[in-house]
Amino acid sequence: MFKDTLLSILERHELYISRCIQLALQGTYAAMPNPSVGAVVVHNDRIIGEGFTSPYGGPHAEPNAIASVKNQELLKESTLYVSLEPCSHFGKTPPCCDLVIEKQIPKVVIGTVDPFAKVCGRGIQKMRDAGVEVIVGVLEKECQESNKRFFTFHNKKRPYIILKWAESQDGFIAPITRDTHRPFWISNTYSKQLVHKWRSEEMAFLVGTQTVLSDNPSLTTRDWYGDSPIRVFLDRSGKIDHTFCIKDKTVKTICITADQSLVSTENLVYEYADFTNNLLQQILDILYKHNIMSIVIEGGTQTLQSFINAKLWDEARIFTGETILGNGIAAPVLTEFDNAVKHRILDNELRIVYPK
Ligand SMILES: NC(=O)C1=CN([C@@H]2O[C@H](COP(=O)(O)OP(=O)(O)OC[C@H]3O[C@@H](n4cnc5c(N)ncnc54)[C@H](OP(=O)(O)O)[C@@H]3O)[C@@H](O)[C@H]2O)C=CC1
Ligand SMILES: Nc1c(N[C@@H]2O[C@H](COP(=O)(O)O)[C@@H](O)[C@H]2O)[nH]c(=O)[nH]c1=O
Ligand SMILES: [Zn+2]
């Protein structure tokens, strides 16, 4: 009784959907390119089962939550809360909405509709047709935010774009010239390790031609656990030869070029683009074709600035180191952004900002 007066029905829905979001966030990176979803089974205002999406190819959140309920008979009197609409298609696993119907769960509360064309309302309809009471749209924005990569990919037909660079105290990303073909490090080793963690999390990393020529980057995950991302680089006129690390074929790599004489081999894919006409849209179409849901643009300035100028970015992660360079290659200039969070990593500052 006391609980009833304390929490309205809507507040209770929001409470359980926020728990779904918490659960979903535990599966984000392993589930990609699938969304990560959280599900909670509630009986008489008590959580009796929970689950989130297994690593890619494994069971979805709903079967995991349903399987965790000890007394399966209680499912017939329970409500299933889920952050994303239960699927209605046969993918790597059978449709989750069929399982809800089979288990005779009478009520389902959904955070948001699935933007994926094969589902997109069909899961809701199928359950309603079978007599399940379905409520849709609880903490909708938060549920979409919890799967921001997936929603960007399906709604905008492009990956979620993260800009990332390190700049000196006085706003440079590198000296003008240097003797070695190695990166000039501005951020510290802990920041570098964090970037390797990001490499294990996001699906791809992209660099411009000059960055490959100056730094000979590997773009691999060496200082963190997990797989390396897909590497993407620009090479309009075929300047990057096979001596560069990025062409060592150890990791799937996509070279975007105008040179049609270049022929793809295993792990090194050439994609052709017209560099004189709306290059960025062509890059995004190529990434979409390769099912790349998230990408980090690593630099350099010219490449980053072209994404900024085209307003094609979703997040920027900017390190500022202690170094003062005096002169050099100026860092990209961001306009119209909201400052979100600042972190200290010893003598580095990491700023994460979002477009306005
Ligand atoms: N501190 C940091 O975080 C980072 C520093 N760096 C540093 O940055 C420097 C390189 O930066 P920068 O000189 O700006 O070069 P980029 O790495 O951005 O490469 C620029 C080249 O890429 C191609 N390109 C990029 N964008 C476009 C576009 N929109 N349209 C057409 N062509 C494009 C062009 O090659 P082409 O003319 O052949 O067609 C262009 O000359 C290096 O010194 C590197 O060490 C790099 C990454 C991160
Ligand atoms: N200099 C600089 C960065 N440089 C970026 O890292 C790339 C090198 O990757 P790898 O060869 O795998 O170690 C390099 O080409 C450039 O894109 N990154 C940072 O976080 N901080 C820095 O100070
Ligand atoms: Zn499913």
pLDDT tens-digit profile, the chain (356 residues):
445 556 798 899 999 999 999 999 999 999 999 999 999 999 999 999 999 999 999 999 999 999 999 999 999 999 999 999 999 999 888 999 999 999 999 999 999 999 988 888 999 999 999 999 999 999 999 999 999 999 999 999 999 999 999 999 999 999 998 888 899 999 999 999 999 999 999 999 999 999 999 999 999 999 999 999 999 999 999 999 999 999 999 999 999 999 999 999 999 999 999 999 999 999 999 999 999 999 999 999 999 999 999 999 999 999 999 999 999 999 999 988 887 799 999 999 999 999 99
The crossing angle, in degrees rounded to 10, of helices 301-309 and 279-289 is 90
Q: Which CATH class is domain 157-355?
A: alpha beta
pTM above 0.90, yes or no: yes
Q: Is 250 annotated as a binding residue?
A: no
Residue type, 93: T
Whether ipTM > 0.90 holds is yes
C-alpha 340/C-alpha 17 separation (Å) is 24
How many angstroms separate the alpha carbon of residue 33 from the centre of ligand 3? 14
How many angstroms separate the alpha carbon of residue 94 from the centre of ligand 3? 7
Indicate the CATH number for domain 6-151.
Answer: 3.40.140.10
C-alpha 313/C-alpha 335 separation (Å) is 12
Delimiting residues of CATH 3.40.140.10 domain(s) in the chain? 6-151
Delimiting residues of CATH 3.40.430.10 domain(s) in the chain? 157-355
| Collapsed DSSP state (helix, strand, coil) of residue 250 | coil
Pocket probe for ligand 2: among 198, 202, 219, the residue whose CB has the most ligand atoms within 8 Å is 219
pLDDT in tens, 340-352: 799 999 999 999 9
